[in-house]
Structures are given as C-alpha cells and as structure tokens.
Structure 1
Amino acid sequence: MPFIEESDLLELHKDIDKAQIINERLLDQIKYKNKELKRSKLQRNIFAAITAVFLIGTLAITSFTVGLTSSAQQQSADYVNFSIDSLEVIKGRLDNLKQQNEELSLVREFYLAKKFLEKETIYSVQVKAFVDKNLSLASESLTNTMFVKTNPFYAYSVGNFETLEEAQKFRRELVAMGFNDAFVASYRDGKRIAIEDAQ
C-alpha cells in the first residue's frame, strides 16, 4: 500500500485550495468579459441604428435637393459626386463593423471553449506552485494554461488534455526539458479532483 508523507498531504491540500481560488478568479474574469461583450454589442447596435438614420436622412435630403435642381446636368453631376462620397463612407463603416464583429466572434469562441472545459474532465500538467505570491506567468488570453489559487498557493499548469495518457506524455516531455517537479492534475466543472475520480 502506498505511503504518503504528512507534509506531502499538506502540500496537496494547499494545491487544491489554490486551484479553487484561481478558478474563482477565472470565473470573475469571465463575468467581467461577458459584461464588456454585452456593452460592445449594445454600442455596435446603437452605432448601426444611428448610421441607418443618418443614411436615410442623407438620402432624403439628397432626393429633395436633386428634385429642386433645375438643370439636368447640374442635377446629374451633384448626384454622382454625392453618391460616390456616400458610398465610400458607408463602405468604410461597413468594413469597421465587420472587423468589430470578427473580434467579438473570436472572444465569444474563447469563452465558449472555457465553458466547455469547465464542464468536462480535463487533465493539465502543473509545473510550479508559489506561496502567497499572485504571479501570472502567462497572458490570461491563452486558453491552454491555467493559473489556479489554492490557499495559500498559486499553481501554474500547462496544457488541457482530454485523456490522462496525453497529459502524462506531455509531463514526460516537460520533465525532459527540466521541469522535474511537474505532475498531472485533473479538473471537472472547473474544480480540481483526484486523478482516480476523473477516470
């Protein structure tokens, strides 16, 4: 029967607490980003409505102006110049809205992936733990890293794997690179669980 030192057991409990705190931080960050997405969507809709009203007003004024012009040549020249300018402005606005929509789609896909990972059992390789030091080693936008707070530790894990075998293979590669203390951890519903419970 395997034997575990009391100090190792205490370290494991600390790692678990640390993972829970980091998960709470991630959930808070997701809520904040969701609020930002809703605000951006509202601003985009308001901008689109204002643009539509502006275009309708511009077309109405243009139609009215064209109707009052007595000369057919003057009428034709003004209409063509105004239409070309209007089309360029509209095209610029449409391009800007398309770019914003693509950026919002990427952010949405990121959060959908995060929600999926929280619902499934995943494996990750923990490479470092810090005591009482909130140190972020990677950008929060990287979806393949985890920074988990477990009182009083902060754990840094790399990789999100569907199977234990994949995570163990990645751990062996990290150990070969010099991360001798790296070990596989499992998570379900955004919480750390024992490897035995994950299978």
Structure 2
Amino acid sequence: MQTHVFKLFVSIIIVLTFSLTKVVNAQSNDDKFVVVLDAGHGGKDPGNLGSGYKEKQIALNIVLKVGKALEKNSGIKVIYTRKTDVFVELRERAAIANRADADLFVSVHCDSHNSSAHGAGTFVMSLAKSSQNLNTAKKENEVIFLEDNYEENYNGFDPNKPESLIGISILQEEYLEQSIQLANLIQDNMVKLKRKDRKVKQDIFWVLHNTYMPSVLVETGFLTYKKEGAYLNSAKGQKEMAKSISDAILTFKDKLDGNVGKQIINENIKDTIPNEEKPIKNTVFKIQIAASSKALEPKAYNFKGLKNISRIKAGTLYKYYFGYTSDYNKAQKLQIEAKNKGYKDAFIVAYKDGKLIKLSEALKSEVN
C-alpha cells in the first residue's frame, strides 16, 4: 500500500513538474521570433530519387543545419516538422506552424526532371501565376496519395487535375508580400553560390496553403542533374545551401525589426487608429509601411516623421499603416509620400466594412 502511494506521489510530482516546465518554456518563448522548418517528404515518402540520391535525407540534413544556425540567435525559437526519417502528412506540417503561432514557415525540397534542368528556385503560395509552374506543384502535392483517408482530409483535391488546383482558396494572400521578400533573400543567396537562377515563382502547394504566416518553399536543386545531385548530396553542398537559407531568415528578421524605430513600449497597449477614423462603411485605403515583431507607439518620431499612423496586430507581428482615405488617387499620393520617406516597399491595402479585401476587388467595386 505504501509503495502504491509512493508511486502515485512520484507520478503526481512528475506530471506537475512537466506541466510547470511547459508553462515556463511557453512564457520564455513569448517574445521570440518563431521559425518552423519543414524538411520535405520522409518515412515512406522518399521524395525523388534522381541519380540515386534520396531527397528526404538531403532535405532533412539541410534543415537541421539551418536550425542549428538559427538557434544560435537568442531571439529565435526553431520548431521542426520532423527531425528524423518519419512520414508527416502535408496538412500536419502546416498545422504544426499554426499551433506554434509561427512568424515564418520554410519548407525545403530537391527537384527532379526528365531533362537536363538544373538550378535553385523558391516558391510562394499564390494562384496568380500558377499555370506557369504547375508541374513542380503537382510533384510536391502528390505525396497526399500516401496518406490515409486523403480524399476526406483534402476535400477531393487531386494533384493531377489543374481544375482541382485552381479550386484552392488563397489563405496565404495576406502574407504574400512578406513571403516574396523572404523568397527573394533566399534566392539571392543561392545565386551567389553560382547556382543557376530559377527565380522566385508563385504556385499552389498544399504544404503552404494552410499556413497563417509568411511561407516559402525552397527547391534547392535537381537531383536528376548528375553534377547538381552530387553537390546537394555532399557535406559542402548541404552546408552552403543551409547557410543561404539561414542567412536569409536572419536578414528577413533584421529587416522586420529595423524598418521601424527602436523605441519599444509595453506590448499590452491597445491597437490604435487615428482620431479622425470613423466606422468603415465603404472602401478605405491605407498604406502599409512596415511589419515588425516590435510593438511601437504609432507616433511620427517612430516612423521618419510620417503622421496618421495606425497599428494592427496580425499573429505575432504588428503591421503599421500610414494614412486613411476612401479616395484611391489620394492613396497613391500617400504611397509616394511614404516611399519618399524611405519606405520603398510601401504598398496600398484596402478595407471594406472593416475587413481586408483584395485591392483589385476594391478598385473593381469603385468602378462599378
């Protein structure tokens, strides 16, 4: 009896200790920039086997090296969708990132083709130019056939049917601009290694489709191209590719933190809007000038003298907007003013009834 009570007591202590540890860890990571790294394929899904190399292992080796480099930064928390040779469903990869409320999602792969195609490229989730790159998306999406109950889990989605691809909703659209920024940084770094530049492209990938943060898929090269396959399978090649990706992520984070002022205030303050704002009934245009993990007071001294600044929290990022107008012509002038102040990436966003809508939709309704 005493032994049973003792074991029960020990079990309770272990559970409490584990629970408290989880709470402490969660609190200690609240202010960190969370990056989810996804090694493509794994387990029963080997990926492509061009020239006899295994995509799943090369992708994992690169991801682990990326993570190791990022973990040296005390302001970054790294989460992996897999750290070993295991099978992870596509929808679960996105779910891992969403549950972590991540700031970035980066998926690493190796490409293949029945020609002499070679070079490195990056992809972001978008319907805009999907028809140009349908073959790449099709290959990466076909892994769903290895999953149990895939027809139910993916709502009848069939990677072999273009019309099925076009039916995917664009949950990533809000983060497209930032996804492209990160993709460009990664692509530029890979090109510096004298890799053939296959550019930043937009396509429809299930692994990116359901993530609620800036997300990028990296095709590090073609295993089917003998010279490139040998490079990616080598320790040197994997080290260089990992550095290209990790350096880009660090630069991306620095840009986010650096494109606003350095003064930080209590993050518990409420999101603010200009005093002159009224309930939105029709379309309203604003100029997005920055996005950062820092919560800054929306005052002119934090934004190079620009006034009429508003701030909205989206996930773990704070988005900062300049101006407020229902006149698109005036919005264009405000965009020019922001760019002249140094916000070269400033762009116009539209709201209708308080909800973010496509700019094209806003302009179409204005014409009608």
The reply to whether TM is greater than 0.5 is: no
State the TM bucket, normalised to the shorter chain: 0.3 to 0.5
Greater RCO, CA 8 A, separation 6+: 1
Normalising by structure 1, report the TM-score.
0.41
Higher helix share: 1
Q: Is the radius of gyration larger for structure 1 or structure 2? A: 1
